[in-house]
């Protein structure tokens, strides 16, 4: 470190000017010796005298000038300190350890402490720690609260060598620094921002899920009373939050309310969902609502569009729930009631006709399900293959990995003269053949990230989606036809209905009927889970087409390795909270997929008395797969959604990356604990 103070800059040059003149006089005297000797000696005498005087004055004046400069700097510092002390902006200085070494009056008034010097800034503002200290000379800003006020704090690194009078003095190469702290009171600004946000408009749509079905279960004289009670409940709920409600149709409402009341609705988890279900004047079926709310501060039109998207999402997930959609997030509330099966098949007929019209305009049809295809996705794909073949269209089924569950069925198509050799393609082959005149039909999945070949979705201009899973935040948005029915037991059930309306006298071969029947058997757990009237009607249609129950059952008999693996998984079962079964399935099973064994194990655990839900964990391909099952007491779909998965109320799953089995088990336990505390279970 250099402690010696030296002249620098313009001041140093000014004081050395007399020395520069001495050099000029010496040169002039030497030149005069050539011109005139007498004049030269006179000039030399004057030059020597001038040099002596200049040197004496330079060194004497330098010390006196340095003294005056130091005095000026001190007085200047006192002026600066006084101005800073009286400055209206709260200001403080910290050392390089974050300890307070000086504060002005405003900063001291905020802290309201007598002894602040030497204390760490963290003791007053806990959110400010060493990680928030500036590493460079760029200012660091963050928001804090102290007392009842909100502040924006600015921290700026100040090097000590930068605070001297650099134009006149040089303090050397000392690298020490201070931290300047500024506090800006933003309490009123935040208050106005919050008021502005609270007063912004939230738009919403309320639909009755089963209006017609509920009215049919009531005597004619009471139908008007049921309508009036529902209208009154909805109107009263919205007006309690100072909102406006307008009935659009007999079973639809449009609502407007302020954003501040949206948070209150979220706190009580939209109690209107349960209140409407309690209306009972003799109706055998309780009325359920679907609510879609949208909020976007940039404009009312976008808020309404978000509300439309939210209500579509709520209906696609089975109804009886609220979906709140903003620009960055989608939140779900409710969804505990069992989906109500629609007795009418008008929608299936309309979708079948629309699908036929789309296929007739294209030359190639590509059908694919989700990755690691199961019997439902494979059976549905075979059904669409039959529909497209009836129109004499070139049709391909895209499937990469043939799982053990699909293998018995797909082998029946190999070397079968009734089917083309290129009926099944891998993703690479499908990408090479797809063109602008192709349609891609996606079955048994509506998440683009887990389809068999995501590239096809980006390459094809025409996409059709047929699925029975509840919609999540991630959906295939560019589909020209989307038929998603959460109440359906399986995709094979939906395709079986479509085939009945697709073409008159369509002939489904027995092998194809077997594939679709097998998909229904697996997804309904032998018709014990999520079955309705239309499920059995679809099964009867397939039986008439030649599906053989005994033949299907023989193809799906388990081998000994699978049976032992299920037994080992069941032996690891842990009973959590007396009603949740958690088990770990082997990650490597000869002759079968570990994920399928885990799903079968989860189904078997539900046969144990007192089990409300089962969760089976298995490690496969560096991921943790969770198979969740329930009968009717627990909605496993909303549990799996908190882990990034999804499914149905009774059948759901999730995939976790960079997670161990033990961590996954702990995550499920914590979610179950939290949901019970919040009343979601």
Q: Is the CATH number 3.30.70.270 carried by domain 202-334?
A: yes
Of 359 and 94, the structure prediction assigns the larger pLDDT to 359
pLDDT at residue 617 greater than cutoff 90: yes
Residue with the bigger pLDDT between 608 and 473: it is 608
**Residue 61 burial (CB count, 10 A):** 12
Weakest-pLDDT range from 61-70, 105-114, 648-657: 61-70
pLDDT digits (tens, 9 = 90+) for 584-612: 988 766 656 788 888 888 988 988 888 99
Q: Which of 19-28, 93-102, 330-339, 391-400 has the highest mean pLDDT?
A: 391-400
The predicted pLDDT at position 168 comes to 40
Q: How far is CA 142 from the centre of its chain?
A: 24
Provide the pLDDT for residue 283: 75
Q: Where are the domains of the chain?
A: 6-84, 91-193, 202-334, 346-555, 561-678
Rounded to an integer, what distance in angstroms lies between the CA atom of residue 462 and that of residue 480?
6
Average pLDDT taken over every residue of the chain: 81
Helices (H), 205-345: 211-216, 220-240, 259-267, 272-277, 300-316
pLDDT tens-digit readout, 530-565: 777 888 988 899 989 888 888 888 777 767 877 888
Taking only the tens place, the pLDDT of each residue in 391-420 is 989 999 999 888 777 888 888 888 888 898
Calculate the alpha carbon distances from 618 to 114, 570, 621, 649, 655 in Å: 62, 12, 10, 21, 10
Average pLDDT on 242-262 reads 90
Q: Could you identify the residue written with the tokens 């009926």?
A: 423
CA dist 389 and 418 (Å) reads 12
Higher pLDDT, 349 or 380: 380
pLDDT above 80: residue 129: no
What CATH number does the domain located at 561-678 have? 3.10.310.30
pLDDT score of 397: 93
Provide mean pLDDT across the span 164-175.
43
Task: List the 289-294 sheet strands across, edge first.
Answer: 244-249, 252-258, 201-208, 289-294, 321-325, 330-334
Helix (H, G, I), strand (E, B) or coil at 571: helix
Which residues pair with residue 625 across a beta bridge?
618, 655
Give the whole-angstrom CA distance, residue 8 versus residue 14: 10
pLDDT at residue 380 in the model: 93
Per-residue pLDDT, 98: 77
Q: pLDDT tier at 379 (50, 70, 90 boundaries)?
A: very high
Model pTM?
0.57
Residue 117 has pLDDT above 80, yes or no: no
Task: Please determine whether the domains at 202-334 and 346-555 fall in the same fold group of CATH.
Answer: no
- Residue 174, pLDDT above cutoff 60: no
DSSP string, 572-605: T-EEETTTEEEEE--S--TTS-HHHHHHHHHHHH
The pLDDT score that the predictor gives to residue 581 is 92
Share of the chain above pLDDT 70, in %: 86
CA atoms within 13 A on the CB side of 431: 10
For position 527, what pLDDT does the model report? Answer: 80
Quick check: 567 pLDDT over 80? Answer: yes
* Residue 166 predicted with pLDDT over 60: no
What is the arithmetic mean of pLDDT over 61-67? 62
CATH T-level assignment (fold) for domain 91-193: Beta-Lactamase (3.30.450)
Higher pLDDT, 167 or 555: 555
Give the range among 137-141, 157-161, 266-270 with minimum mean pLDDT: 157-161
DSSP one-letter string for 70-83? HHHHHHHHHHHHHH
Are 164 and 172 a contacting pair, CB within 8 Å?
A: no
Span 503-529, pLDDT tens digits: 877 888 999 999 999 888 888 877 877
Predicted confidence (pLDDT) at residue 649 exceeds the cutoff of 50: yes
- 644 vs 240, higher pLDDT: 240
pLDDT above 90 (res 7): no
pLDDT band per the 50, 70, 90 thresholds, residue 169: very low
List all residues 6 or more positions away from 187 whose beta carbon is below 8 Å from its beta carbon.
148, 149, 150, 151
Mean pLDDT within 481-485? 85
Note whether 381 and 365 are within 8 A (CB).
no
Residue 1 pLDDT greater than 50, yes or no: no
pLDDT of residue 63: 58
Q: Return the C-alpha torsion angle 387, 390, 395, 401, nearest 10.
A: 50
Neighbours of 406 (CB within 10 A): 24
Once rounded to an integer, what is the mean pLDDT over residues 112-137? Answer: 73
The listed CATH number (3.90.1640.10, 2.40.160.40, 3.90.480.20, 3.40.50.720) that belongs to domain 346-555 = 3.90.1640.10
């Amino acid at each position: 470190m250099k402690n010696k103070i030296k002249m620098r800059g313009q001041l140093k040059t000014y004081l050395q000017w007399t020395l520069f003149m001495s050099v000029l006089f010496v040169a002039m005297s030497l030149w005069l010796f050539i011109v005139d000797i007498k004049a030269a000696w006179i000039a030399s005498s004057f030059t020597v005298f001038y040099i002596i005087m200049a040197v004496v004055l330079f060194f004497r004046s330098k010390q006196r000038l340095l003294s005056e400069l130091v005095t000026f700097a001190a007085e200047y510092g006192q002026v600066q300190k006084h101005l800073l002390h009286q400055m209206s902006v709260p200001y403080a200085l910290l050392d390089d350890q974050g300890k307070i070494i000086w504060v002005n009056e405003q900063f001291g008034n905020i802290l309201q402490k007598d002894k602040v010097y030497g204390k760490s800034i963290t003791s007053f503002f806990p959110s400010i720690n060493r990680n928030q200290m500036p590493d460079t000379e760029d200012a660091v800003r963050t928001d804090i609260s102290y007392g009842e006020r909100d502040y924006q704090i600015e921290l700026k690194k100040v090097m000590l060598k930068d605070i001297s009078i650099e134009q006149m003095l040089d303090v050397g190469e000392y690298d020490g620094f201070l931290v300047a702290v500024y506090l800006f009171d933003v309490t009123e600004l935040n208050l106005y921002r919050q008021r502005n946000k609270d007063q912004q408009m939230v738009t919403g749509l309320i639909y009755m899920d089963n209006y017609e079905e509920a009215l049919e279960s009531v005597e004619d004289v009471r139908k008007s009373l049921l309508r009036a009670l529902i209208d009154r409940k909805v109107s009263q709920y919205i007006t309690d939050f100072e909102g406006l409600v307008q009935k659009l149709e007999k079973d639809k409402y449009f609502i407007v309310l302020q954003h501040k009341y949206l948070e209150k609705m979220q706190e009580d988890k939209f109690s209107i969902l349960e209140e409407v279900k309690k209306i009972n004047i003799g109706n055998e079926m309780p009325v359920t609502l679907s609510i879609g709310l949208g909020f976007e501060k940039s404009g009312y039109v976008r808020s309404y569009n978000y509300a439309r998207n939210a209500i579509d999402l709520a209906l696609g997930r089975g109804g009886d729930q609220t979906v709140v959609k903003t620009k960055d997030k989608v939140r779900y509330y409710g969804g505990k009631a069992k989906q109500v099966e629609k007795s009418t098949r008008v929608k299936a007929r309309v979708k079948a006709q629309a699908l036929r019209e789309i296929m007739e305009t294209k030359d190639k049809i590509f059908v694919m399900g989700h990755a690691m295809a199961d019997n439902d996705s494979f059976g549905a794909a075979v059904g669409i293959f039959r529909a497209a073949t009836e129109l004499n269209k070139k049709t391909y089924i895209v499937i990469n990995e043939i799982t053990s569950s699909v293998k018995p069925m797909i082998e029946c198509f190999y070397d079968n003269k009734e089917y083309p050799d290129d009926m099944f393609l891998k993703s690479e082959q499908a990408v090479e053949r797809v063109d602008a005149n192709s349609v891609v039909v996606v079955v048994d999945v509506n998440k683009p990230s887990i389809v068999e070949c995501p590239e096809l979705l980006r390459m094809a201009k025409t996409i059709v989606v047929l699925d029975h899973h509840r919609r999540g935040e991630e959906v295939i948005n560019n589909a020209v036809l989307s038929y998603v029915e959460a109440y359906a037991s399986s995709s094979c059930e939906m395709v079986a209905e479509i085939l009945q309306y697709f073409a008159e006298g369509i002939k489904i071969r027995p092998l194809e009927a077997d594939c679709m029947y097998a998909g229904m058997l697996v997804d309904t757990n032998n018709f014990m889970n999520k079955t309705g009237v239309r499920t059995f009607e679809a099964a009867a249609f397939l039986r008439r087409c030649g599906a053989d129950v005994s033949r299907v059952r023989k193809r799906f008999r388990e081998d000994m390795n699978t049976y032992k693996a299920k037994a080992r998984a069941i032996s690891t079962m842990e009973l959590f909270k007396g009603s949740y079964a958690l088990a770990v399935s082997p990650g490597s099973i000869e002759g079968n997929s570990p994920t399928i064994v885990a799903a079968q194990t989860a189904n078997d655990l539900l046969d144990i008395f007192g089990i409300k839900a089962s969760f089976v964990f298995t490690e496969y391909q560096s991921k943790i797969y969770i198979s969740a099952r329930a009968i009717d007491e627990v909605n496993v779909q909303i549990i799996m959604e908190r882990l990034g998965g999804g499914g149905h109320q009774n059948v759901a799953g999730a995939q976790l990356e960079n997670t161990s089995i033990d961590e996954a088990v702990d995550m499920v336990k914590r979610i179950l604990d939290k949901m019970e505390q919040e009343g979601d279970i």
